[in-house]
């Protein structure tokens, strides 16, 4: 899917180190059709070369969330598409992430989960 989002045009070959993750004999066209079916609402974006733009939007959102948490006195470490916070602040951080996602995308579709690690 990432290759399809970053690609400027339809995929013509399997992305490197990808074929082995599909059942033997799966054709690229079949894999593309499965992904398009699974992600139908955004399939029109596949092949549009939007990968880096989407990465920038995600980065801007996580910076906004981290800044908001800092202003609220919560120490947060951004980690890709997540923030690491104290367990006692997890619900606050999850609500902040959800709110920033909804404001930035006009969509309620964020998946926010909390995971706790013990050291």
Q: Each residue of 64-104: pLDDT tens digit?
A: 999 999 999 999 999 888 899 998 999 999 999 989 888 88
Q: Is residue 87 part of a domain?
A: yes
Which residues 6+ apart lie within 8 Å of 31 measured at CB? Answer: 22
- Find the domain containing 73 and state its range: 55-105
Q: Is residue 117 part of a domain?
A: no
Rounded CA separation 116/103 (Å):
26
* Amino acid 8: pLDDT: 95
* Amino acid 119: pLDDT: 57
Q: Is residue 111 part of a domain?
A: no
Q: Is residue 39 part of a domain?
A: yes
- Classify 104 as helix, strand or coil: helix
* pLDDT confidence bin for 112, thresholds 50/70/90: low
- Domains in the chain, number: 2
Q: Is residue 116 part of a domain?
A: no
Q: Is residue 37 part of a domain?
A: yes
Do 91 and 60 lie in one domain? The reply is yes
Do 69 and 87 lie in one domain? The reply is yes
Among 7, 4, 12, which Cα is nearest to 37's? 4
């Amino acid at each position: 899917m990432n290759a399809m989002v970053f690609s400027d045009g339809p995929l013509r070959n399997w992305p490197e180190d990808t074929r082995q993750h599909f059942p033997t004999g799966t054709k690229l066209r079949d894999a593309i059709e499965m992904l398009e079916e699974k992600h139908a609402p955004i399939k029109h974006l596949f092949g549009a070369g939007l990968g880096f733009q989407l990465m920038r939007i995600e980065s801007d959102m996580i910076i906004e969330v981290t800044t908001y948490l800092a202003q609220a006195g919560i120490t947060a470490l951004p980690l890709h598409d997540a923030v690491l916070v104290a367990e006692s602040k997890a619900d606050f951080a999850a609500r902040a992430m959800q709110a920033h996602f909804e404001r930035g995308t006009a969509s309620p579709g964020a998946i926010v989960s909390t995971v706790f690690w013990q050291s």
